[in-house]
Amino acid sequence: MRNIYLVGMPSSGKSTLGKRIADTLHYRFVDTDRLIVREEGRSVADIFAQSGEDYFREAERRVLRTIRPGSSLVVATGGGMPCFHDNMAYINATGVSVFLDVPVEVLYNRMLAHAQHDRPLYSHKDPELRQSLQLRYQNRLPFYSQATLTIPGETSEDNVLRLIGTWL
């Protein structure tokens, strides 16, 4: 069965929804950030701090290309993964890509509510977080828009599954 790649901004629900989709479809769930952490032996934040963003983006490219097509996987990609190294083209060539298009205001509220410390490009303490998210969303939208399927953020889980099912 074709792999399903979930793309979108951080806090768009890729991991949460991805696990549910995988359970429902009897696929396996993988998160590319977790694969990178396992491969590197350090957190995403530590990779950024110690080796820089360019190094991390190369690690994303490398890990993405280890995912075999047709493996019945639901893959939660890092928010920036589709935007570097022709990753979006690779994703589309090897599976069904799904853009979880969540409004920036919802992303902002989720980030504040969950205050995760593993997001090196976003800090819940940043007074400019809302503006930063808006700018990053606009910059990434041309890549996310290449997805096979775009699902608005307010779509119910049942409808997400139905829509994805039409592409498998």
String of DSSP letters for 68-84: PTTS-EEEE--TTGGGS
Report the domain count for the chain: 1
Asked if residue 57 belongs to a domain, the reply is yes
Asked if residue 166 belongs to a domain, the reply is no
pLDDT digits (tens, 9 = 90+) for 105-128: 999 888 877 765 555 445 555 668
Asked if residue 83 belongs to a domain, the reply is yes
Which CATH number fits the domain that encloses residue 59? 3.40.50.300
Asked if residue 49 belongs to a domain, the reply is yes
37/59 Cα distance (integer angstroms): 10
pLDDT digits (tens, 9 = 90+) for 18-40: 999 999 999 999 999 999 999 99
70/81 Cα distance (integer angstroms): 20
74/23 Cα distance (integer angstroms): 10
pTM for the predicted model, two decimal places? 0.91
Asked if residue 98 belongs to a domain, the reply is yes
Asked if residue 167 belongs to a domain, the reply is no
**Residue 116 structural domain:** 3-156
